[in-house]
A and B are shown apart, each in its own frame.
Chain A
Amino acid sequence: MKFFQSIGAKTIGKVTAVGRAALMLFGALIAVPRVKNIPLIIKQLYVVGVQSLLIIMVSGLFIGMVMALQGYTILVDYGAEGSLGPMVALSLLRELGPVVTALLFAGRAGSALTAEIGLMKATEQLSSLEMMAVDPLRRIVAPRFWAGMLAMPMLAIIFSAVGILGGHLVGVDWLGVDAGSYWSIMQSTVDWNQDVVNGVIKSLVFALVVTWIAIFKGYDSIPTSEGISKATTETVVYSSLAVLGLDFVLTALMFGIE
Protein backbone atom coordinates (compact mmCIF):
# COMPACT_ATOMS: atom_id res chain seq x y z
CA MET A 1 0.00 0.00 0.00
CA LYS A 2 2.84 2.34 1.02
CA PHE A 3 4.53 1.49 -2.27
CA PHE A 4 1.59 2.62 -4.40
CA GLN A 5 1.17 5.69 -2.23
CA SER A 6 4.75 6.74 -2.84
CA ILE A 7 4.44 6.15 -6.59
CA GLY A 8 1.33 8.30 -6.61
CA ALA A 9 2.98 11.04 -4.56
CA LYS A 10 6.03 11.03 -6.83
CA THR A 11 3.89 11.23 -9.97
CA ILE A 12 1.87 14.11 -8.59
CA GLY A 13 5.13 15.82 -7.59
CA LYS A 14 6.57 15.47 -11.10
CA VAL A 15 3.40 16.63 -12.81
CA THR A 16 3.11 19.73 -10.64
CA ALA A 17 6.79 20.46 -11.27
CA VAL A 18 6.13 20.40 -15.02
CA GLY A 19 3.25 22.78 -14.41
CA ARG A 20 5.42 25.14 -12.37
CA ALA A 21 8.08 25.02 -15.08
CA ALA A 22 5.53 25.92 -17.73
CA LEU A 23 4.22 28.78 -15.63
CA MET A 24 7.74 30.08 -15.08
CA LEU A 25 8.54 29.95 -18.80
CA PHE A 26 5.26 31.67 -19.58
CA GLY A 27 5.98 34.35 -16.97
CA ALA A 28 9.41 34.96 -18.43
CA LEU A 29 8.25 35.07 -22.03
CA ILE A 30 5.10 37.11 -21.53
CA ALA A 31 7.23 39.91 -20.10
CA VAL A 32 7.47 42.41 -22.91
CA PRO A 33 11.18 42.82 -23.65
CA ARG A 34 12.09 46.35 -22.66
CA VAL A 35 14.89 48.40 -24.19
CA LYS A 36 16.39 48.58 -20.68
CA ASN A 37 16.81 44.81 -20.64
CA ILE A 38 18.89 44.58 -23.81
CA PRO A 39 22.18 45.21 -21.94
CA LEU A 40 21.19 42.39 -19.57
CA ILE A 41 20.74 40.01 -22.51
CA ILE A 42 24.08 41.08 -23.96
CA LYS A 43 25.80 40.46 -20.64
CA GLN A 44 24.27 36.97 -20.42
CA LEU A 45 25.16 36.32 -24.05
CA TYR A 46 28.75 36.97 -23.05
CA VAL A 47 28.51 34.62 -20.07
CA VAL A 48 26.78 31.67 -21.75
CA GLY A 49 28.00 32.25 -25.31
CA VAL A 50 31.42 33.86 -25.50
CA GLN A 51 32.74 32.10 -22.42
CA SER A 52 31.66 28.74 -23.89
CA LEU A 53 33.53 29.41 -27.14
CA LEU A 54 36.81 27.83 -26.14
CA ILE A 55 35.38 24.48 -25.01
CA ILE A 56 33.12 24.37 -28.07
CA MET A 57 35.95 25.08 -30.51
CA VAL A 58 38.41 22.66 -28.93
CA SER A 59 35.80 19.90 -28.81
CA GLY A 60 34.74 20.62 -32.40
CA LEU A 61 38.34 20.44 -33.59
CA PHE A 62 39.01 17.08 -31.97
CA ILE A 63 35.72 15.56 -33.04
CA GLY A 64 36.37 16.64 -36.64
CA MET A 65 39.85 15.15 -36.47
CA VAL A 66 38.65 11.84 -35.05
CA MET A 67 35.88 11.65 -37.64
CA ALA A 68 38.38 12.13 -40.46
CA LEU A 69 40.71 9.52 -39.03
CA GLN A 70 37.97 6.94 -38.53
CA GLY A 71 36.29 7.74 -41.81
CA TYR A 72 39.53 7.52 -43.75
CA THR A 73 40.45 4.06 -42.46
CA ILE A 74 37.06 2.74 -43.53
CA LEU A 75 36.66 4.63 -46.81
CA VAL A 76 40.16 3.91 -48.06
CA ASP A 77 39.39 0.18 -48.24
CA TYR A 78 36.81 0.92 -50.91
CA GLY A 79 38.90 3.60 -52.58
CA ALA A 80 36.24 6.10 -51.58
CA GLU A 81 38.41 8.41 -49.46
CA GLY A 82 37.30 11.26 -51.71
CA SER A 83 33.95 11.14 -49.92
CA LEU A 84 35.61 12.02 -46.64
CA GLY A 85 34.55 15.68 -46.96
CA PRO A 86 30.80 15.06 -47.17
CA MET A 87 30.98 12.37 -44.52
CA VAL A 88 32.60 14.71 -42.00
CA ALA A 89 30.41 17.68 -42.95
CA LEU A 90 27.11 15.81 -42.92
CA SER A 91 27.74 14.06 -39.61
CA LEU A 92 28.70 17.34 -38.02
CA LEU A 93 25.93 19.51 -39.45
CA ARG A 94 23.12 17.02 -38.96
CA GLU A 95 24.06 15.33 -35.71
CA LEU A 96 27.26 15.98 -33.88
CA GLY A 97 27.22 19.77 -34.11
CA PRO A 98 23.82 20.36 -32.50
CA VAL A 99 23.96 17.37 -30.12
CA VAL A 100 27.48 17.68 -28.77
CA THR A 101 27.13 21.46 -28.51
CA ALA A 102 23.94 21.00 -26.48
CA LEU A 103 25.61 18.45 -24.21
CA LEU A 104 28.61 20.68 -23.66
CA PHE A 105 26.35 23.69 -23.19
CA ALA A 106 24.37 21.83 -20.54
CA GLY A 107 27.57 21.01 -18.69
CA ARG A 108 29.28 24.34 -19.12
CA ALA A 109 26.51 26.96 -19.13
CA GLY A 110 23.42 25.10 -17.91
CA SER A 111 24.97 23.99 -14.64
CA ALA A 112 26.31 27.51 -14.07
CA LEU A 113 22.84 29.00 -14.67
CA THR A 114 21.25 26.61 -12.19
CA ALA A 115 23.88 27.23 -9.54
CA GLU A 116 23.73 31.01 -10.02
CA ILE A 117 19.96 31.27 -9.79
CA GLY A 118 19.85 28.75 -6.94
CA LEU A 119 22.39 30.76 -4.97
CA MET A 120 20.48 33.96 -5.69
CA LYS A 121 17.48 32.26 -4.18
CA ALA A 122 19.45 30.98 -1.18
CA THR A 123 20.91 34.42 -0.45
CA GLU A 124 17.44 35.99 -0.70
CA GLN A 125 18.39 38.06 -3.75
CA LEU A 126 15.33 36.86 -5.64
CA SER A 127 13.06 37.68 -2.71
CA SER A 128 14.62 41.07 -2.32
CA LEU A 129 14.02 41.79 -6.02
CA GLU A 130 10.37 40.90 -5.52
CA MET A 131 10.16 43.15 -2.49
CA MET A 132 11.71 45.95 -4.56
CA ALA A 133 8.81 45.49 -6.95
CA VAL A 134 11.11 44.09 -9.65
CA ASP A 135 9.86 40.84 -11.17
CA PRO A 136 12.71 38.30 -10.98
CA LEU A 137 11.22 36.42 -13.93
CA ARG A 138 11.66 39.49 -16.05
CA ARG A 139 14.94 40.66 -14.60
CA ILE A 140 16.81 37.38 -13.97
CA VAL A 141 15.10 34.58 -15.87
CA ALA A 142 14.12 36.18 -19.18
CA PRO A 143 17.57 37.58 -20.17
CA ARG A 144 19.24 34.25 -19.40
CA PHE A 145 16.63 32.38 -21.41
CA TRP A 146 16.96 34.58 -24.48
CA ALA A 147 20.74 34.56 -24.26
CA GLY A 148 20.68 30.75 -24.28
CA MET A 149 18.32 30.67 -27.25
CA LEU A 150 20.59 33.01 -29.21
CA ALA A 151 23.90 31.49 -28.18
CA MET A 152 23.30 27.79 -28.77
CA PRO A 153 22.64 27.81 -32.56
CA MET A 154 25.65 30.05 -33.09
CA LEU A 155 27.83 27.78 -31.00
CA ALA A 156 26.58 24.74 -32.93
CA ILE A 157 27.49 26.39 -36.25
CA ILE A 158 30.92 27.30 -34.94
CA PHE A 159 31.35 23.74 -33.66
CA SER A 160 30.57 22.28 -37.08
CA ALA A 161 32.79 24.77 -38.92
CA VAL A 162 35.77 24.08 -36.68
CA GLY A 163 35.08 20.35 -36.97
CA ILE A 164 35.17 20.49 -40.77
CA LEU A 165 38.50 22.30 -40.57
CA GLY A 166 39.76 19.64 -38.15
CA GLY A 167 38.68 16.97 -40.62
CA HIS A 168 40.60 18.81 -43.32
CA LEU A 169 43.68 18.94 -41.13
CA VAL A 170 43.75 15.19 -40.58
CA GLY A 171 42.23 13.97 -43.85
CA VAL A 172 43.91 16.29 -46.34
CA ASP A 173 47.05 17.56 -44.68
CA TRP A 174 48.09 14.41 -42.86
CA LEU A 175 46.53 11.47 -44.68
CA GLY A 176 46.76 12.90 -48.17
CA VAL A 177 43.13 13.02 -49.33
CA ASP A 178 42.85 15.36 -52.31
CA ALA A 179 41.91 18.86 -51.09
CA GLY A 180 39.84 19.53 -54.21
CA SER A 181 37.64 16.50 -53.73
CA TYR A 182 37.32 17.16 -49.96
CA TRP A 183 35.77 20.56 -50.62
CA SER A 184 34.00 20.11 -53.94
CA ILE A 185 32.21 16.85 -53.12
CA MET A 186 31.24 18.41 -49.77
CA GLN A 187 29.77 21.41 -51.55
CA SER A 188 27.78 19.34 -53.99
CA THR A 189 26.46 16.96 -51.34
CA VAL A 190 25.53 19.24 -48.45
CA ASP A 191 22.10 20.75 -48.98
CA TRP A 192 21.27 24.11 -47.40
CA ASN A 193 17.72 23.33 -46.27
CA GLN A 194 18.08 19.64 -45.65
CA ASP A 195 21.32 19.76 -43.69
CA VAL A 196 22.27 23.24 -42.50
CA VAL A 197 18.82 24.61 -41.66
CA ASN A 198 17.69 21.35 -40.06
CA GLY A 199 20.79 21.39 -37.89
CA VAL A 200 20.01 24.92 -36.77
CA ILE A 201 16.41 23.96 -36.01
CA LYS A 202 17.68 21.07 -33.92
CA SER A 203 19.96 23.29 -31.92
CA LEU A 204 17.16 25.82 -31.38
CA VAL A 205 15.01 23.06 -29.89
CA PHE A 206 17.94 21.89 -27.74
CA ALA A 207 18.56 25.47 -26.64
CA LEU A 208 14.95 25.79 -25.50
CA VAL A 209 15.07 22.55 -23.56
CA VAL A 210 18.50 22.93 -21.96
CA THR A 211 18.06 26.58 -20.95
CA TRP A 212 14.56 25.98 -19.70
CA ILE A 213 15.63 23.02 -17.55
CA ALA A 214 18.67 24.91 -16.23
CA ILE A 215 16.71 28.02 -15.28
CA PHE A 216 13.79 26.13 -13.80
CA LYS A 217 16.00 23.83 -11.74
CA GLY A 218 17.72 26.88 -10.26
CA TYR A 219 14.51 28.80 -9.69
CA ASP A 220 12.78 25.82 -8.13
CA SER A 221 15.75 24.54 -6.11
CA ILE A 222 15.63 24.05 -2.37
CA PRO A 223 17.73 26.99 -1.16
CA THR A 224 20.34 25.02 0.77
CA SER A 225 23.80 23.88 -0.31
CA GLU A 226 22.48 20.34 -0.64
CA GLY A 227 19.47 21.48 -2.66
CA ILE A 228 21.57 23.52 -5.07
CA SER A 229 24.07 20.73 -5.66
CA LYS A 230 21.18 18.37 -6.38
CA ALA A 231 19.57 20.88 -8.73
CA THR A 232 22.84 21.38 -10.62
CA THR A 233 23.32 17.66 -11.08
CA GLU A 234 19.73 17.26 -12.22
CA THR A 235 20.17 20.03 -14.76
CA VAL A 236 23.04 18.23 -16.45
CA VAL A 237 21.42 14.77 -16.26
CA TYR A 238 17.95 15.84 -17.42
CA SER A 239 19.26 18.13 -20.16
CA SER A 240 21.54 15.45 -21.54
CA LEU A 241 18.81 12.83 -21.58
CA ALA A 242 16.31 15.27 -23.07
CA VAL A 243 18.75 16.28 -25.80
CA LEU A 244 19.55 12.69 -26.78
CA GLY A 245 15.91 11.65 -26.73
CA LEU A 246 14.72 14.67 -28.65
CA ASP A 247 17.51 14.20 -31.16
CA PHE A 248 16.07 10.86 -32.16
CA VAL A 249 12.58 12.31 -32.51
CA LEU A 250 13.81 15.27 -34.54
CA THR A 251 16.01 13.11 -36.76
CA ALA A 252 13.08 10.80 -37.45
CA LEU A 253 10.92 13.78 -38.37
CA MET A 254 13.55 15.48 -40.52
CA PHE A 255 15.33 12.64 -42.27
CA GLY A 256 13.34 9.50 -41.53
CA ILE A 257 10.41 9.93 -43.87
CA GLU A 258 11.36 10.51 -47.44
Chain B
Amino acid sequence: MDHLVEVDNLTFKRADRIIYDGISLKVPKGKITAVMGPSGIGKTTLLRLIGGQLTPDKGDVRFGGNSIVSMSRKSLYETRRRMSMLFQSGALFTDMSVFDNVAFPLREHTKLSEDVIATIVALKLQAVGLRGAAQLMPSELSGGMARRAALARAIALDPDLIMYDEPFAGQDPISMGVLVKLIRELNDALNLTSIVVTHDVTEVLTIADYIYILADKRVIGEGTAQQIRESDSELVQQFLKGKADGPVPFHYPAPDLKASFLGADK
Protein backbone atom coordinates (compact mmCIF):
# COMPACT_ATOMS: atom_id res chain seq x y z
CA MET B 1 0.00 0.00 0.00
CA ASP B 2 1.08 3.55 -0.72
CA HIS B 3 1.77 5.71 2.31
CA LEU B 4 1.50 9.49 2.30
CA VAL B 5 2.89 10.06 5.80
CA GLU B 6 5.39 7.85 7.55
CA VAL B 7 6.54 8.41 11.11
CA ASP B 8 9.67 6.42 11.70
CA ASN B 9 11.02 5.54 15.14
CA LEU B 10 10.30 9.01 16.45
CA THR B 11 11.36 10.27 19.86
CA PHE B 12 10.23 13.62 21.17
CA LYS B 13 10.96 15.26 24.49
CA ARG B 14 9.51 18.38 26.02
CA ALA B 15 11.95 19.74 28.57
CA ASP B 16 12.80 16.53 30.45
CA ARG B 17 9.50 14.81 29.85
CA ILE B 18 9.46 12.16 27.15
CA ILE B 19 6.31 12.49 25.04
CA TYR B 20 7.10 9.82 22.45
CA ASP B 21 9.62 7.08 22.75
CA GLY B 22 10.40 5.58 19.37
CA ILE B 23 6.93 5.42 17.83
CA SER B 24 6.34 4.46 14.19
CA LEU B 25 3.16 4.79 12.22
CA LYS B 26 2.11 4.88 8.59
CA VAL B 27 -0.76 6.75 7.02
CA PRO B 28 -2.09 5.09 3.86
CA LYS B 29 -2.98 7.34 0.93
CA GLY B 30 -6.66 8.05 0.35
CA LYS B 31 -7.77 6.60 3.68
CA ILE B 32 -8.89 7.93 7.02
CA THR B 33 -6.39 7.08 9.73
CA ALA B 34 -7.39 7.68 13.32
CA VAL B 35 -4.97 8.29 16.16
CA MET B 36 -6.61 7.68 19.52
CA GLY B 37 -5.38 7.88 23.05
CA PRO B 38 -6.10 9.34 26.45
CA SER B 39 -5.98 13.12 26.92
CA GLY B 40 -2.65 14.69 27.61
CA ILE B 41 -0.44 12.18 25.85
CA GLY B 42 0.46 14.58 23.06
CA LYS B 43 -1.78 13.62 20.17
CA THR B 44 -1.78 17.23 18.99
CA THR B 45 1.99 17.20 19.31
CA LEU B 46 2.06 14.36 16.80
CA LEU B 47 0.19 16.51 14.26
CA ARG B 48 2.57 19.38 14.87
CA LEU B 49 5.50 17.04 14.29
CA ILE B 50 3.98 15.93 10.99
CA GLY B 51 3.38 19.56 10.03
CA GLY B 52 6.98 20.41 10.82
CA GLN B 53 6.09 22.92 13.55
CA LEU B 54 8.08 20.88 16.04
CA THR B 55 11.31 19.00 15.48
CA PRO B 56 11.72 15.49 16.89
CA ASP B 57 14.73 14.62 19.03
CA LYS B 58 15.26 11.41 17.12
CA GLY B 59 13.70 9.63 14.17
CA ASP B 60 12.08 10.91 11.03
CA VAL B 61 8.77 12.09 9.61
CA ARG B 62 8.26 11.67 5.88
CA PHE B 63 5.58 13.27 3.75
CA GLY B 64 5.21 11.79 0.28
CA GLY B 65 8.65 10.22 0.72
CA ASN B 66 10.43 13.47 1.64
CA SER B 67 11.76 13.98 5.13
CA ILE B 68 9.99 16.87 6.87
CA VAL B 69 12.66 16.96 9.55
CA SER B 70 15.64 17.66 7.33
CA MET B 71 13.82 19.95 4.92
CA SER B 72 14.90 23.55 4.38
CA ARG B 73 12.52 26.23 5.62
CA LYS B 74 11.59 27.10 2.06
CA SER B 75 10.65 23.61 0.98
CA LEU B 76 8.85 23.07 4.27
CA TYR B 77 6.61 26.00 3.40
CA GLU B 78 6.17 24.56 -0.09
CA THR B 79 5.20 21.20 1.38
CA ARG B 80 2.76 22.76 3.83
CA ARG B 81 0.69 23.99 0.91
CA ARG B 82 -0.14 20.34 0.29
CA MET B 83 -1.31 19.70 3.83
CA SER B 84 -3.76 21.44 6.04
CA MET B 85 -4.86 21.17 9.59
CA LEU B 86 -8.16 21.67 11.33
CA PHE B 87 -7.40 23.03 14.78
CA GLN B 88 -9.45 22.16 17.81
CA SER B 89 -10.65 25.73 18.21
CA GLY B 90 -11.09 26.20 14.48
CA ALA B 91 -8.54 29.01 14.64
CA LEU B 92 -10.53 31.24 12.32
CA PHE B 93 -9.12 34.74 11.96
CA THR B 94 -11.40 36.74 14.21
CA ASP B 95 -10.98 39.99 12.28
CA MET B 96 -12.32 38.57 9.00
CA SER B 97 -15.70 37.28 7.83
CA VAL B 98 -16.20 33.59 7.07
CA PHE B 99 -15.89 34.37 3.37
CA ASP B 100 -12.55 36.14 3.81
CA ASN B 101 -11.30 33.37 6.06
CA VAL B 102 -11.93 30.76 3.37
CA ALA B 103 -10.56 33.07 0.68
CA PHE B 104 -7.42 33.75 2.73
CA PRO B 105 -5.23 30.84 1.55
CA LEU B 106 -6.37 31.41 -2.03
CA ARG B 107 -5.45 35.08 -1.90
CA GLU B 108 -2.11 34.29 -0.26
CA HIS B 109 -1.00 31.50 -2.54
CA THR B 110 -2.68 31.94 -5.91
CA LYS B 111 -3.03 34.75 -8.41
CA LEU B 112 -6.69 33.98 -9.12
CA SER B 113 -9.04 36.87 -9.80
CA GLU B 114 -11.58 37.86 -7.15
CA ASP B 115 -14.40 36.42 -9.30
CA VAL B 116 -12.81 33.00 -9.41
CA ILE B 117 -12.00 33.14 -5.71
CA ALA B 118 -15.63 34.02 -4.93
CA THR B 119 -16.76 30.97 -6.91
CA ILE B 120 -14.30 28.62 -5.21
CA VAL B 121 -15.20 29.95 -1.77
CA ALA B 122 -18.91 29.50 -2.48
CA LEU B 123 -18.29 25.88 -3.54
CA LYS B 124 -16.18 25.09 -0.48
CA LEU B 125 -18.75 26.67 1.84
CA GLN B 126 -21.52 24.77 0.05
CA ALA B 127 -19.62 21.54 0.74
CA VAL B 128 -19.73 22.20 4.48
CA GLY B 129 -23.24 23.65 4.35
CA LEU B 130 -22.34 27.22 5.28
CA ARG B 131 -22.76 29.12 2.02
CA GLY B 132 -25.51 31.16 3.69
CA ALA B 133 -23.16 32.13 6.52
CA ALA B 134 -20.45 33.60 4.29
CA GLN B 135 -20.84 37.15 5.54
CA LEU B 136 -20.98 36.31 9.26
CA MET B 137 -18.05 37.03 11.55
CA PRO B 138 -16.45 34.10 13.44
CA SER B 139 -17.82 35.45 16.76
CA GLU B 140 -21.36 34.97 15.40
CA LEU B 141 -20.87 31.25 14.70
CA SER B 142 -21.61 28.36 17.02
CA GLY B 143 -18.76 26.02 17.90
CA GLY B 144 -19.81 23.43 15.34
CA MET B 145 -20.27 26.03 12.59
CA ALA B 146 -16.87 27.54 13.35
CA ARG B 147 -15.28 24.15 12.92
CA ARG B 148 -17.07 23.62 9.62
CA ALA B 149 -16.01 27.06 8.40
CA ALA B 150 -12.44 26.19 9.37
CA LEU B 151 -12.85 22.94 7.46
CA ALA B 152 -13.90 24.87 4.36
CA ARG B 153 -10.76 26.98 4.75
CA ALA B 154 -8.63 23.86 5.22
CA ILE B 155 -9.81 22.38 1.90
CA ALA B 156 -9.64 25.69 0.00
CA LEU B 157 -6.35 24.85 -1.69
CA ASP B 158 -7.30 21.19 -2.35
CA PRO B 159 -4.59 19.69 -0.15
CA ASP B 160 -3.39 16.08 -0.26
CA LEU B 161 -3.50 15.65 3.49
CA ILE B 162 -5.85 17.02 6.09
CA MET B 163 -5.22 16.63 9.80
CA TYR B 164 -8.09 16.93 12.25
CA ASP B 165 -7.20 17.86 15.82
CA GLU B 166 -9.99 16.63 18.11
CA PRO B 167 -12.76 17.47 15.64
CA PHE B 168 -15.50 16.09 17.89
CA ALA B 169 -14.44 17.62 21.20
CA GLY B 170 -17.27 19.54 22.83
CA GLN B 171 -19.79 19.08 20.02
CA ASP B 172 -23.48 18.32 20.46
CA PRO B 173 -24.71 15.05 18.88
CA ILE B 174 -26.03 16.76 15.75
CA SER B 175 -22.83 18.73 14.97
CA MET B 176 -20.89 15.58 15.78
CA GLY B 177 -22.92 13.61 13.22
CA VAL B 178 -22.44 16.39 10.66
CA LEU B 179 -18.68 16.39 11.19
CA VAL B 180 -18.41 12.61 10.98
CA LYS B 181 -20.30 12.66 7.70
CA LEU B 182 -18.23 15.57 6.36
CA ILE B 183 -14.91 13.94 7.18
CA ARG B 184 -15.90 10.75 5.40
CA GLU B 185 -17.47 12.46 2.38
CA LEU B 186 -14.70 15.00 1.86
CA ASN B 187 -12.09 12.29 2.12
CA ASP B 188 -13.73 10.24 -0.59
CA ALA B 189 -14.97 13.04 -2.86
CA LEU B 190 -11.74 15.05 -2.91
CA ASN B 191 -9.48 12.02 -2.81
CA LEU B 192 -7.86 13.26 0.38
CA THR B 193 -5.86 11.48 3.00
CA SER B 194 -7.10 12.21 6.51
CA ILE B 195 -5.59 11.88 9.95
CA VAL B 196 -8.09 12.21 12.77
CA VAL B 197 -6.76 12.68 16.27
CA THR B 198 -9.43 12.08 18.86
CA HIS B 199 -10.57 10.23 21.93
CA ASP B 200 -14.17 9.80 20.86
CA VAL B 201 -14.18 6.06 20.39
CA THR B 202 -17.61 5.39 18.88
CA GLU B 203 -17.42 8.07 16.18
CA VAL B 204 -13.97 7.05 15.11
CA LEU B 205 -14.69 3.34 14.91
CA THR B 206 -17.44 4.13 12.39
CA ILE B 207 -15.36 6.18 9.96
CA ALA B 208 -11.70 5.26 10.33
CA ASP B 209 -10.10 2.85 7.89
CA TYR B 210 -7.13 2.27 10.13
CA ILE B 211 -6.62 3.06 13.79
CA TYR B 212 -3.62 3.63 16.01
CA ILE B 213 -4.01 3.76 19.77
CA LEU B 214 -1.30 5.64 21.64
CA ALA B 215 -0.61 5.45 25.33
CA ASP B 216 2.39 5.45 27.55
CA LYS B 217 4.65 7.15 24.92
CA ARG B 218 4.17 4.40 22.33
CA VAL B 219 1.67 2.69 20.04
CA ILE B 220 -0.26 0.13 22.08
CA GLY B 221 -2.59 -1.10 19.39
CA GLU B 222 -3.27 -0.73 15.69
CA GLY B 223 -5.50 -2.17 13.03
CA THR B 224 -8.90 -1.78 11.42
CA ALA B 225 -11.93 -1.02 13.57
CA GLN B 226 -12.73 -4.74 13.71
CA GLN B 227 -9.21 -5.70 14.79
CA ILE B 228 -9.18 -3.01 17.46
CA ARG B 229 -12.50 -4.19 18.92
CA GLU B 230 -11.15 -7.72 19.13
CA SER B 231 -7.79 -6.70 20.57
CA ASP B 232 -6.76 -8.71 23.60
CA SER B 233 -4.64 -5.91 25.03
CA GLU B 234 -6.02 -4.89 28.44
CA LEU B 235 -5.00 -1.28 27.83
CA VAL B 236 -6.89 -1.11 24.53
CA GLN B 237 -9.96 -2.64 26.10
CA GLN B 238 -9.85 -0.21 29.01
CA PHE B 239 -9.70 2.66 26.57
CA LEU B 240 -12.50 1.38 24.33
CA LYS B 241 -14.87 0.60 27.18
CA GLY B 242 -13.96 3.63 29.26
CA LYS B 243 -13.28 1.75 32.49
CA ALA B 244 -12.22 4.01 35.35
CA ASP B 245 -9.48 1.76 36.60
CA GLY B 246 -7.17 -0.64 34.83
CA PRO B 247 -3.69 -0.49 33.35
CA VAL B 248 -4.20 3.30 33.30
CA PRO B 249 -4.70 3.84 37.06
CA PHE B 250 -7.47 5.98 38.51
CA HIS B 251 -5.09 7.46 41.07
CA TYR B 252 -2.26 9.78 40.20
CA PRO B 253 0.82 8.19 41.78
CA ALA B 254 0.85 9.01 45.52
CA PRO B 255 2.04 7.41 48.74
CA ASP B 256 -0.41 5.07 50.44
CA LEU B 257 -3.31 7.01 51.95
CA LYS B 258 -3.30 5.27 55.31
CA ALA B 259 0.44 5.52 55.67
CA SER B 260 0.52 9.24 54.83
CA PHE B 261 -2.35 10.04 57.25
CA LEU B 262 -0.55 8.24 60.03
CA GLY B 263 2.51 10.33 59.34
CA ALA B 264 4.56 7.42 58.05
CA ASP B 265 6.21 9.62 55.43
CA LYS B 266 7.84 11.87 58.01
Contact = CB atoms under 8 A, between A and B. Distances in A.
Interface string B47-66: 01001010000000000000
Among A123, A125, A132, chain B packs the most CB atoms within 10 A around the CB of A132
Contacts of A133: 77-78, 80-81, 108-109
Contacts of A127: 48, 53, 85, 87, 91
B84 interface: yes
B88 A135 contact: no
Contacts of B150: 128
Majority SS at the chain A contact face: loop
A191 interface: no
Interface residues of B, number: 22
A130 B80 contact: yes
Contacts of B109: 133
B105 interface: yes
A252 interface: no
A124 B80 contact: no
Interface residues of A, number: 11
A131 interface: yes
Contact of B89 (A123, A130, A135): A123
Interface string A119-147: 00001110110111111000000000000
A146 to B, nearest CB: 18
B53 A130 contact: yes
B84 A132 contact: yes
Contact of A134 (B48, B51, B94, B108): B108
Contacts of A135: 77
A132 B153 CA distance: 10
Contacts of B80: 130-133
Contacts of B81: 133
Given A124-B88, A124-B89, A125-B93, A131 B108 contact: no
A124 B92 CA distance: 9
A113 to B, nearest CB: 14
A132 to B, nearest CB: 5
17 contacts: A123-B91, A124-B87, A124-B89, A125-B91, A127-B53, A127-B87, A128-B85, A128-B87, A128-B150, A130-B53, A131-B51, A131-B53, A132-B80, A132-B84, A133-B78, A133-B108, A134-B108
